[in-house]
Structure 1
Amino acid sequence: MSRRSMIGEALAAGPAEPIVVADEAPPAEPRTNFTSKRLDAFGEAARMVKKPSIRLKPSECSIWPGNARDYAMLSEVRVRSLIDSLQAENGNRIPVVVRRSPKGAEHPYELITGTRRHWAVSWLNANHYPDIELVAIIEDIDDEAAFRLADIENREREDISDLERGLNYKAAVDAYYDGVQAKMADRVKLSKSSLARYIGLTEIPQSIISAFNSPMDLHVRYGDKLLPLVRNPASLAKMEEAAVHIANEQSFRQSGDEEPIAGAEVVARLVKATTTSSRGRSQKTLIEAGGTRIGQVDQDRGRGLTLTLTPSELSTDEILEALRPLIDNAKINRKQGR
């Protein structure tokens, strides 16, 4: 058996299976728990890696920016199950991968894979478990190889959004593959169409993304419906107008502990907005009481009035008093056929 790192062999061979987007997915297989998935992904590596592991503190590592995961988006809620697992096992069973930082760098190591494990151990260190360390393997690899290694691991992850993957792939194709998607697709063993669809998500502006409760809800399959409309200035303007209303409703639901608007419904409403004629489009009016904005009313000839109220300190009578003239005005307009 060669003493060469299995990580190197994995990079040479590429991932065993390509990413399959949702509408191309094979029949579902029984789900396994987190540890089983990680061991499945790295089982062969664990058998063949000969390099000894080291133990270090998360504070000794900077985070390599080429990884798909947005470190700033991690939170105790998103990482809770991993935190519990590391606490029970007194550390990470599957090593993270680091490389040595250049001389003069602030941290001696740079983390290539294992962002969630790094975050979880950091959290544990700051919350009554200062002795738990991060188990790591040191690899000597360049940025392009680091990207492919991180991509191999991240394809096993279910909590990286399709948008995060798209942004990561777009940056990588420009940085390592001369801007040629076909070259990158061949190198990482991913179909050209799948790669193009992930990168396509990066064309969706933040004004549209804001309509989703979370970027995790923006799946790659939704890009097939949204991108043609985003690329048309007229339909984009209509979607942006609808997105503002949807985002306000998402915020209102969140403040009331209600279920958010699902991603599929958000897409349906955005698409529908582009086919609504100007005759049927709603007119929006802010609702104010005592100089404070308390909500919004949408007046639509086809549906009547839609009220969106924001929780406030005002009494019920004060809110109703603010709504009365808006309702009366709507009645007058309806009688006059406007």
Structure 2
Amino acid sequence: MARNQKDYLADLLADDEAPVPAPAADEASGPIAPPARPDRMRGTTLLSRESALARVATGEVRQVTQMLLDPARVRVWTGNARHYNHLTEENCRELIDSILAEGGQKVPAVVRRIDNDPDHDFEVIAGTRRHWSISWLRRNSYPEMQFVAQVVALDDEAAFRLADLENRARKDVSDLERARNYAAALRQHYGNHMTRMADRLKVSKGWLSKMLKVAALPDVVVSAFASPDDIQLKPAYVLAQLFDDKARAATITSAAKQIAKLQAERRMSGDLPFPAAEVLRRLHLATESKADVAEPFTYKSKIGRDALSLVSSNRQGATIRLHAGSGATEDELLRGLREALAHLDASGRGLLR
């Protein structure tokens, strides 16, 4: 995290001043007077307090309070990039185990108070996984678990920046989730002024431009991937640029529908879905000229042997070979044939047009 981002985060969540614990009392001689502070320390403390009060006076920091909350009374802010419904016991397992080992949640989340919601009192700005994990634990044999949170007063734009700072350090927030979160924030908080948004987030305008480009990828293309998490910034940006050409955009959209259908069939049959690299290869292949030679295609059986391959393709038709001894079932060969036809269609040599 950049230094200026750390400074912003510290200012955003800083307390006025940590309380000084009271000295212990001696039963025989009465309370012990605290040691006198040197004049130099008094001046430093006064300046520190004045500085904290000045931050409060600006309106950027109004209140910081740490509380133990019932997670059922806390909702997740919709402006966060992380999709709450994508969280599972599996992808939160490490955090759950950590909470159990430490006897509770040690790192507080950040929440703010809300009004006009009879079911909730607060909403999570940063700490969605902590909220999910505590909620899961309360439903699974640990009803005493409490959701630990700092209560702050932030407007939506400041809340967005705070959530973004936390998500940048999280590998489980995909580039697509962040990109679409940025696109929404650009409209809601920055009046579609990208330069202003880049300045406020302390990121380069060029990088932000790429993220916004990726955010524009249509859902039909996203559905071609096994998971939205597979969509990474660099290759997705190259793909998104192709949509500037209407003809290419239509071709990619058609190919994406075919791939999404094949992905669904593979899941139903128990096969692994196509990895991101294969999906990207097929989508890019769809934009190549029909005069180009189609790339080779081979379908393997479940035991890893070649079952069906595309030998050649031209204007008169295609030659497909079925391999002996592959161990493939009839259903596998039919599925391989469908994938070969989809491969031809993606390369602009479809036989069913």
- The alignment's TM-score, normalised by the length of structure 1, stands at 0.69
Following the alignment from structure 1 to structure 2, what is the Cα–Cα distance between the partners of residues 100 and 322?
54
Q: Is the 2:312–2:319 Cα contact (8 Å) retained in structure 1?
A: yes
| Contact in 1 for aligned 2:13/2:152 (Cα 8 Å) | no
Is 2:177 the partner of 1:187?
A: no
Deviation at 1:229, TM superposition (A): 1.6
Structure 2 unaligned blocks of 5 or more: 19-63, 296-308, 323-328, 338-353
Number of the residue aligned with 1:242: 255
Counterpart in the other structure of 1:304: 319
The one of 193, 210, 214 aligned to 1:197: 210
1:15 aligned residue? 5
Cα distance change of structure 1 residues 304 and 83 upon mapping to structure 2, 3 Å threshold: farther
Query: Which amino acid is the alignment partner of residue 219 of structure 2?
Result: Q
Task: From the superposition, tell whether residues 277 and 142 of structure 1 become closer, same or farther in structure 2 (CA, over 3 Å).
Answer: same
Query: Residue 218 in 1 paired to residue 227 in 2?
Result: no
Find the counterpart in structure 2 of residue 59 from structure 1: 72
Instruction: Provide closer, same or farther for how the CA distance between residues 233 and 14 of structure 1 changes in structure 2, counting only shifts above 3 A.
Output: same
What is the CA distance between 1:53 and its match in structure 2? 2.1
Render the CA deviation track for 1:34-64: whole Å, top value 9, x for unaligned.
xxxxxxx98x979998555211111010111
* Contact persistence 1:197–1:223 (CA under 8 A): no
Kindly report the root-mean-square deviation, in angstroms, between the aligned alpha carbons of the 2 structures: 3.7
What pairs up with 1:89-168 in 2 under 5 angstroms?
Answer: 89-103=102-116, 105-168=118-181
Larger RCO, structures 1/2 (Cα 8 Å, 6+ apart): 1
2: CA distance between counterparts of 1:264 and 1:53?
A: 45
User: Does the CA-based 8 Å contact 1:14-1:152 persist in structure 2?
Assistant: no
Q: Cα offset for 1:157?
A: 0.5
Asked if the contact 1:211–1:266 (Cα under 8 Å) also holds between the matched residues in 2, the reply is yes
1:163–1:215 contact (8 Å) kept in structure 2: yes
Structure 1 82/245 Cα, relative in aligned 2: closer, same or farther at 3 Å?
same
Give the letter for the 1:245 counterpart.
Answer: Q
Q: In 2, are the aligned partners of 1:54 and 1:136 still within 8 Å (CA)?
A: yes
Cα contact 1:101–1:108 (8 A) shared by 2:
yes
Kept in 2, the 8 Å contact 1:58–1:118? The answer is yes
Q: Secondary structure at the match of 1:135?
A: strand
Distance change (3 Å), C-alpha of 1:272 and 1:91: same
SS of the residue aligned with 2:198? Answer: helix
Deviation at 1:242, TM superposition (A): 1.9
In the superposition, relative to structure 1, how do residues 323 and 245 fare at CA in structure 2: closer, same or farther (>3 Å)? closer
Residue 74 of structure 1 corresponds to 87
Cα distance per residue 1:171-221 (max 9 Å; x no partner): 111111111011010011011011111111121111111111100111111
Change (3 A) 1:228 1:133: same
Give the direction of change, closer, same or farther, for the CA distance of 1:245–1:276 in structure 2 (3 Å limit).
farther
Q: CA deviation at 1:65?
A: 0.7
Identity of aligned residues (%): 38
> C-alpha distance in 2, partners of 1:321/1:183?
55
TM-score (norm 2): 0.66
Q: SS in structure 2 opposite 1:77?
A: coil
Q: Provide the rounded CA distance (Å) in 1 between the counterparts of 2:276 and 2:159.
A: 32
SS of residue paired to 1:91: coil
Tell me if 1:84 matches 2:74.
Answer: no
What amino acid maps onto 1:228 in structure 2? Answer: Q
Question: In the TM superposition, what is the alpha-carbon distance from 1:304 to its structure 2 partner?
Answer: 3.3
The structural deviation recorded for 1:266 is: 1.4
Residues 97, 227 of structure 1: CA spacing in aligned structure 2 closer, same or farther, 3 A cutoff? same
The answer to whether the 8 Å contact 2:74/2:121 transfers is yes
Contact 2:214/2:237 (CA < 8 Å) preserved in 1? no
Aligned length: 270
Residue type matched to 1:132 in 2?
M
Say whether residues 1:260 and 2:250 are aligned partners: no
Structure 1 runs of 4+ aligned residues shifted over 4 Å read: 44-52, 278-282, 297-300, 316-324
**Runs of 5+ in structure 1 lacking a partner?**
1-9, 18-40, 283-296, 308-315, 325-338
Larger mean Cα displacement after TM superposition, 271-280 or 80-89: 271-280
Rg larger in structure: 2
Deviates more, 1:47-56 or 1:257-266: 47-56
Asked if the contact 2:213/2:241 (under 8 Å) is kept, the reply is no
Q: 1:15 to 1:306 in 2, by over 3 A?
A: farther
- Cα 1:259–1:321, aligned 2, differ >3 Å: closer, same or farther? closer
Cα distance in structure 2, aligned partners of 1:70 and 1:222: 22
Q: CA deviation at 1:168?
A: 0.8
